Structure 1
Amino acid sequence: MRGKAGVSLNGKPISAVFFDLDGTLIDSAPDLIDAMRRLRAELGEPVIEMDKVGMVVSKGGRAMLRAGFPGIAEARVETLLPRYLDLYAQQIALHTRTFDGIDAVLADFDARALPWGIVTNKPERLARSVVAELGLAARSAALVGGDTLAKRKPDPEPLLHAAQLANVDATRSVYVGDDARDIEAGRAAGMRTVAAGWGYLDGEDPRDWGADIVVARPQDLVSALGLD
C-alpha cells in the first residue's frame, strides 16, 4: 500500500513533519469505545457490538456517536456529545498507546533535530491531555486542536498555524494523516502529504485521497520521506 518512494520538496530538506493524532500517532480506539460503552450503560441502553465505533474514530465524536447509537437523531448527537467527551476524558489514556513503530520514528526525528507536531480535530484540551499522558507533550513542536482556531481540518488554517508555532516553512513541511480530510488540509496548506495506511480507514482506500505517498506502516515512514 505505497505510492512512489520519497517525498519531493524541490530539492529542499524537510523542515518539519506534522501528524494527525487519533489513528495516525495513537491508537485511541480502545478508550473511545470504552467511553461509548459507559455512556450507553449510563443511559440504560442495551449492550451492542462496538466494532463500528472503532472504525470511525478518525471522523470524530459525532461519527462515533452515530455508530454507537445506530439510527440516532442528529439533535441527540449534539446533546450526547459533551457527556461522551467527559466520560472519555475521565479515562483518556487507560489503554491508548502509540502505534507500533511510531516511537522509533519520533526518536529518529528527535535525533535529527527535525521538528514534529500534531494537528488534530480532537478538542485541544483532550489532545493535550492524552499527549501529556503518553509523554509526548514536551517533545512536540506544536499542537493544534479542533477548537484551537475558528476553523478546523479540512481547512488548511490549523496546519498553517502549527507551522507558525513550530517556526517552520509550511511549504517545506509534511503532513501525515489517516483520513481524506487530512490530505485535503495538507495539500491546501502547501505541505507534502502522506496517507497513513495503518489508521482507522473504515473500508476506504487511502490511495484514493490524492496524497503524495501512501505508507503502509509507521516503520516505513522515515525511508518513505527520503530521510535514510
Structure 2
Amino acid sequence: MAKFPFDVVGFDLDGTLLDTSHDIGMALNHALAIAGRPAVPLDEVSRLIGGGSAQLLRAALTESGGVDEAAFDGLQAQLLAFYAENIADHTRLFPGGLAMLDAFAARGVTLAVATNKLEALAVQVLDALGLTERFACVIGGDTLGPATAKPKPDMLHAMVERCGGGRAVFVGDTTFDMGAARAAGLPVVAVRFGFCDLPPDELGADVVIGHFDELVGALEGLD
C-alpha cells in the first residue's frame, strides 16, 4: 500500500464525527424550560451548534426574547448537567464512520479530535460509544483555555504537536472549523451531512464530501 499523504487526520466532533443534535437539543430545551422559554424543535437545533454550549444557549435565548445575564451561568450549568446525564442516548457516528476510522487505522494514520465542546464531555461521549482509544488526543474548548477555541488556530497547532507532528489535515462542518484550519495552515475538508452554518460548498473547504466512504479518497486527492 502506498504511503498515505497525511500523518495526522483531525476531526471536529459535533456534526462531523458524531450526530449529537438530539441529545444536545434535549439538554438545551431543558435549560430553556427552566428559563420559561419555548423549546427549539429538535430538527432545528443543529443550526445553533458549533461554538460551544455558551454560544448555543445564548443564541437560543436571544431568539426567544433575550439573555438574562444574571441567570445565564446557572442556566448553562443546568444545560451541561442534563447533557452529561444523557450524553449518548441518541448520539451515533455518522454513516460510514466506523469503516472510515478502520481505514485510517489500517494506513497507520494518527487520529485526533479538536472540538469546542468541553474536553470532559467530549471524552465522555467518545467513551460511551467505545471510540476514545481510536484517537491519540482529544482537545476540547477548555483544554487550552476559552480564548483559544476555534476558529482560532491554537487547538489545531496543539493537536498536531500532541500527535507527534507530520503532515496534518482537519475535517469539520462549520465556519469555526474552516477558520481554525486556515489560520493553522492546514488543508480542510467539509462534510455535507453536518451542522453547517453556511451551505457546505460555501464554507471554503479544499474539498467537500457527502459520506464518510469518500474521505480516504478525497485526502489522497489532496496529496
Deviation at 1:48, TM superposition (A): 5.6
| TM-score under structure 1 length normalisation | 0.85
- 1:213 is displaced (CA, Å) by 1.1
The one-letter amino acid paired with 2:205 is: A
Q: 1:163 aligned to 156, 160, 163, which one?
A: 160
| Distance in 1 between residues matched to 2:27 and 2:57, nearest whole Å | 11
C-alpha distance in structure 1 between counterparts of 2:54 and 2:67, whole Å: 11
2-structure distance, mates of 1:98, 1:179: 17
**Do 1:198 and 1:218's aligned partners in 2 also have CA atoms closer than 8 Å?**
no
Percent identical pairs in the alignment equals 39
User: Shift of residue 145 of structure 1?
Assistant: 0.4
Residue of structure 1 equivalent to 2:23: 31
Range with bigger deviation, 84-93 or 56-65: 56-65
- Residue type of the alignment partner of 1:207: D
Q: Show CA shifts across 1:113-162 (max 9, x none).
A: 11111000101110111111111111101110000002111111111111
* 1:205 matches 2:186: no
**Structure 1 residues 74, 100: closer, same or farther in 2, change over 3 A?**
farther
Distance across 2 between alignment mates of 1:217 and 1:58: 20
The residue correspondences of 1:1-228 to structure 2 (distance < 5 A) are 13-43=5-35, 45=37, 49-69=41-61, 70-73=64-67, 75=69, 76-150=71-145, 151-169=148-166, 172-202=167-197, 204-226=198-220
| SS at 2:116 equivalent | coil
Inter-partner Cα distance in structure 1 for 2:6 and 2:40: 46
How many equivalent residue pairs? 214
Q: Structure 1 residues 193 and 48, CA, compared in 2 at 3 Å: closer, same or farther?
A: closer
Q: Is the 1:53–1:68 contact (alpha carbons within 8 Å) kept by the matching residues of 2?
A: no
Q: Cα–Cα, structure 1 residues 12 and 139, in superposed 2: closer, same or farther, change >3 Å?
A: closer
Q: Is the 8 A contact 1:53 1:67 kept in 2?
A: no
The separation in 2 between residues aligned to 1:43 and 1:13, in whole angstroms, is: 50
The answer as to whether partners of 1:50 and 1:68 remain within 8 angstroms in 2 is: no
RMSD: 2.1
One-letter identity of the residue aligned with 1:15: D
CA distances 1:21-57 after superposition (whole Å, capped 9, x unpaired): 0000001111111112333444555556343323222
The AA in structure 1 aligned to 2:139 is V
Which whole-Å CA distance do the structure 1 matches of 2:219 and 2:51 have between them?
26
Residues 78 and 14 (structure 1), Cα distance of their counterparts in 2 relative to 1, 3 Å cut: same
CA distance in 2, matches of 1:129, 1:176: 21
Unaligned stretches of 5+ in structure 1? 1-10
When residues 47 and 14 of structure 1 are mapped into structure 2, their CA distance, relative to the original with a 3 A threshold, is closer
Any unmatched runs of 5+ in structure 2?
A: none
- Rounded to whole Å, the distance in 1 between the matches of 2:53 and 2:76 is 7
Greater displacement, 70-79 / 140-149: 70-79
Q: 1:210 to 1:47 in 2, by over 3 A?
A: closer
Return the alpha-carbon distance in structure 1 between the equivalents of residues 49 and 39 of structure 2: 19
